[in-house]
Homo-oligomer: A and B are copies of this chain.
Amino acid sequence: MNSSAIADVWRLSPDRFFDPDPSVRNLARQLYGTVANEPIISPHGHIDIRLLSDPDAAYGSPTELLIVPDHYVFRMLHSRGISLEALGIPTPGGMELREGVSAGPGAGEAGNRKVWQLFSENFYLFRGTPTGIWLAHELTEVFGVKKKLSGETAQEIYDQIADCLTSPEFSPRRLYERMNIAVLCTTDPAWDRLEQHQALRASDWKADVRPTFRPDGVVNLDFPGWLDNIHKLEQASGIEIGSYKAFIQALELQRAYFKKMGATATDHAALTPFTQELTADQAETIFQRALHGQSQQGCDCNPGDSERFTGHMLMEMARMSIEDGLVMQLHPGSLRDYDRAFFERFGRDKGADIPIAHEFTRSLQPLLSKYGRDARLRLILFTLDEATYARDLAPLAGFYPSLLIGPPWWFYDSLNGMRRYFDLIVETAGLYNTAGFNDDTRAFPSIPARHDVWRRASANWLANLVLRGVIDEQDASQMIHELSTGLARKAYRLDQTPELMP
């Protein structure tokens, strides 16, 4: 082991993520080779569309691109005692200089470099994590970095990335093309007017970028700022929302608008997958309580109102999906904003969302009994509780025509997460009841890294099946394409959507 040699040339192994056994490795390499250059289908993610819709968009510094927006990165540093202030993570009030360091436009070069140094010195914390794998991929494959990131190499690597970021080859649109993205779906609140999507479609840069309809902020009564969101939905839809009935109408109108703008899917978070149908009167009563008892902190006016209303709205959303054909995605199980004081200081999506135990079998019985055997419905389920893979999700998806199982999500978008996913799901549900891969990322340059991990993990899984005599090479050579792009295209009905022309 020559550690200085290793530090001098940082190079990813061409056989990375394959099992060490030579026969597996050879076959995995062969299978991976047939999809390594396939375009990327990204049907679910959180890229800021302004990066693509505004031709003059810029990334800012390496710190602003790779650290500040990525809670996967800063939550780990936080867990080892580095404050978010020291990392320049902005509070909702805007960028602030605090404790002498900060990052972002207001912080200047020195601040950004200081944060980068701190990050680099602690890069060892990411050993063995997917974040470490993605960052290594981004640095070496996207930015051409050749030295391993550490406190010693931090500033040199900062310079190299900063140089890239100002070159035309790295403009967001050019990078999008070089990353070989065929379709990219963003996630947009139900009240969004999709002006950036309109601008992008009106531009002369042709790319298949689509919105996704996400109504959590209006269908979950306890969502922070619920009443404000209702007002925004009123404005976007042009419908005065004085009643539950008008609320439903406004949602239907906005869904139609999203669909017209290219959306093929909706996206729903919920604390649990609980579903229950309310009568129109019951729904109206709860909705009125929420409208009139509402503070800015969200509302759960009578105990259980919020859970019952969300459970009902999931059924309504399934009904609408049957009618308009938008694919429905549901990912329950995250207790958002777990730490109240931290949330009040830093806001949402800052790494303090923690999974809770949940189950699907009983929770979805009302929805599935009513709509599950209707072939017009497509419902993609994600989970943060892996106990549900083999126990609930695979048996359900192995019976209901409407169900597909989404890829391993969030904390499980990882090598072991994928291995467990394949092991726990496919034997019961089969591969063809899964929805392929999506990257779900906020970090633009991490997109290829994430798909590369999935394609390699898929190839390795298939190679093992072949060498164990479970499938043959003919099967595997078809399945690797499904895993790489085919399943995702079909799951999100991207294969049924005519090319969009503004």
Contact = CB atoms under 8 A, between A and B. Distances in A.
In the complex, the count of this chain's copies comes to 3
B129 A430 contact: yes
Categorize the interface residue count of chain A: 35 or more
B399 A16 contact: no
A290 to B, nearest CB: 24
Nearest to A427: B414
Given A124-B475, A433-B79, A471-B128, A362 B391 contact: no
A21 B126 CA distance: 27
Interface string A64-75: 000000000001
A435 to B, nearest CB: 14
A384 to B, nearest CB: 7
A28 B123 CA distance: 24
Interface of A is mostly: helix
Given A75-B398, A391-B385, A424 B433 contact: no
Interface in A379-393: 384-387, 390-392
A467 B398 contact: no
A24 B13 contact: no
Nearest to A339: B369
A434 to B, nearest CB: 11
A289 interface: no
A460 B7 CA distance: 23
Nearest to A416: B423
A328 interface: no
A464 interface: yes
B361 A359 contact: no
A94 interface: no
A344 to B, nearest CB: 11
B387 A357 contact: yes
Interface stretch (A261-269, A297-305, A347-355): A347-355
Contacts of A322: none
A417 interface: yes
7 contacts: A19-B20, A75-B398, A75-B399, A78-B401, A128-B426, A132-B470, A355-B395
Interface of A: 1, 3, 6-7, 12-13, 15-21, 23-24, 75-76, 78-81, 124-130, 132-133, 148, 335, 338-342, 351-357, 359, 361-362, 365, 368-369, 372-373, 375, 384-387, 390-392, 394-401, 403, 411-412, 414-417, 420, 423-424, 426-433, 464-465, 467-475, 477-479
